[in-house]
Each structure stands twice: as C-alpha cells, then as structure tokens.
C-alpha cells in the first residue's frame, strides 16, 4: 500500500491543523522529516491526507510551518498519534494543534 500526501482538501469533514516555528537553516531537514511523518501517518490511518504549508517570508530568521490533516475515518485518534510521532521524529516543539470543521 502506498501512502498518499495530497495538495487538495475535501469539501467537508474535520481538519486538524498544526503550526510551529523553525529556524530558516532547519527548514529543509524539518520539511523532510514532516513528509516522512505524514507518509507514515497516512499509511496507518485509512483515508488520511496531509499537507505541509509555510507562511510566506521569515521573521528574524524564523519560518512558520503548518501541517494540515483531513479525511481519516478515525480523526479523533489522530491528535494523540500525531503528537507521539512528532516527538519520536524530533520535530520542533511546541506544536500548536487545532481542529476545525466546515460550516454547513
């Protein structure tokens, strides 16, 4: 089974957003680690899709990254699994996690 990390979000369903800051010099290795983490999570959560975004520009040599996750059949279990996987991967802390749902 090949895990998929897509660039388009579905029209409905909860979405989990995770944002944090990283030094410009650590941007590429952090992005690589996040993409590995996303492939791992997408393989373990049926239907899960993930994105990695960044805020344009940098402030004081620091870049803000945003991970977005959606589409998993078991979204309630995702935050805990994501937190554990991010810590295991040595991703920057603190990571701010927020859940959003579509307006009906």
Q: What is the mean pLDDT of the chain?
A: 90
The pLDDT of residue 1 is: 45
Model confidence, pTM: 0.85
pLDDT digits (tens, 9 = 90+) for 2-49: 555 655 545 578 999 999 999 999 999 999 999 999 999 999 999 999
Q: Are 37 and 31 in contact (CB under 8 A)?
A: no
Q: Are 58 and 19 in contact (CB under 8 A)?
A: no
Structure tokens at 70: 């959606």
Q: Are 13 and 70 in contact (CB under 8 A)?
A: yes
Complete domains list, the chain, with CATH: 15-100 (3.30.70.100)
pLDDT digits (tens, 9 = 90+) for 39-68: 999 999 999 999 999 999 999 999 999 999
């Amino acid at each position: 089974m090949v895990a998929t990390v897509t660039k388009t979000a579905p029209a409905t369903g909860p979405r989990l957003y995770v944002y944090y800051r990283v030094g410009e010099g650590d941007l590429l290795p952090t992005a690589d680690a996040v993409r590995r983490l996303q492939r791992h999570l997408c393989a373990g959560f049926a239907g899960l899709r993930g994105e990695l975004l960044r805020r344009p520009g940098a402030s004081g040599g620091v870049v803000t990254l945003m991970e977005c996750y959606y589409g998993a059949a078991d979204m309630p279990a995702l935050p805990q699994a994501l937190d554990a996987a991010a810590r295991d991967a040595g991703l920057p802390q603190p990571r701010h996690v927020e859940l959003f749902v579509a307006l009906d």
